[in-house]
Structure 1
Amino acid sequence: MTLTLKQIFQKTLYQMWGAIVVGIFIFGLADVFNFSGMAASLAYAFSRIGPAFILLAPILGWIGVALSGSNTSTNAMFGVMQTLVGKLLGFPILLLPSLNSVGAEVGKPIAPQTASVGVSTSQYVRSEGAVIRHNLGWTLVVLSWLIVVGLLYYFLAPGLMRL
């Protein structure tokens, strides 16, 4: 059976319409969060933690990607807030957003969407939970190392993170 280009696009759109709508909602939510003042309010609240926030920055990225499945979505949601916290605390401007983004990448192996796609052509189909449990410990180890690296940059080489 030969499919025309129009049929291919129709079938693709039918299969992907849910993902497209979710993407629109995620970025819409991020815009509301960032431009309504919620990011600034949350940044102020997190800045009250003080320099210890450097421990939480990658964890927020890790949690964000585990929930949304996307580093881009996590950065859109928390990037501005992380930058504002850094400015309020006097951190190098790139430190917290970088830790957020890398923390998100570390959390990618435990995102349900990633596990589902990853096992779709393997013997682990419908065993996504086992794959996530296996990956969880490793992501926590790498996340801990990331926190140590962030602390080293902050205390030993803050000038490297300047623009």
Structure 2
Amino acid sequence: MKRTSTALNLMSVVLLLAVVLGLLFFVNPMRAEIGLMEVNLAEKELQVSELSAKVAELEAIKEEVGSSGISEDKLLTQVPEGISQDELIVDLSELSTTAGIELHGMSFSTVESEDGAGAVSISASFDGDYEDLIGFLQAVEDSSRKIKVKSINVQLSSEDDVAKASFSLLMEAYYQ
């Protein structure tokens, strides 16, 4: 009886030892994988929080644009897709006619604007009087197309006691 009890005790110790060794060989390598998975989980949670912040920011911008009353059509009118050089010529010609100044010529070149949007540089020369220049600049400001006046060169002259002025304007119009 003592022999069976010793054999059972020995067998239980061997079985216990086998379980402990099995845990060491199978579970210990999994611990490294679990650690790696925890690091990956933390990275993914950080990415999720960053993306959630971006989504919240974009939703706030969407609400701001929606509440400001600016529609997509109005934005496309102000900053159209493509250069639309022919529309620029027509717009500036109409603005100069409305303001009462004579358009002599225009030249165009594409430039990289400060904010990364596409821009076309416009160099134009006009004749008229100083008050008409002010009217033209006001018309450019009120225009549906977004046009920025970069510089103005004014040369005053007098013919038959009539004050006359020649204007050279450097402007930028934007496109998408």
Which structure's residues are more often helix, by fraction?
A: 1
Fold in common (TM above 0.5): no
TM-score (norm 2): 0.29
- Which is higher, the Rg of structure 1 or of structure 2? 2
Which structure's residues are more often strand, by fraction?
A: 2
The higher-RCO structure (CA 8 Å, 6+ apart) is: 1
TM-score (norm 1): 0.31
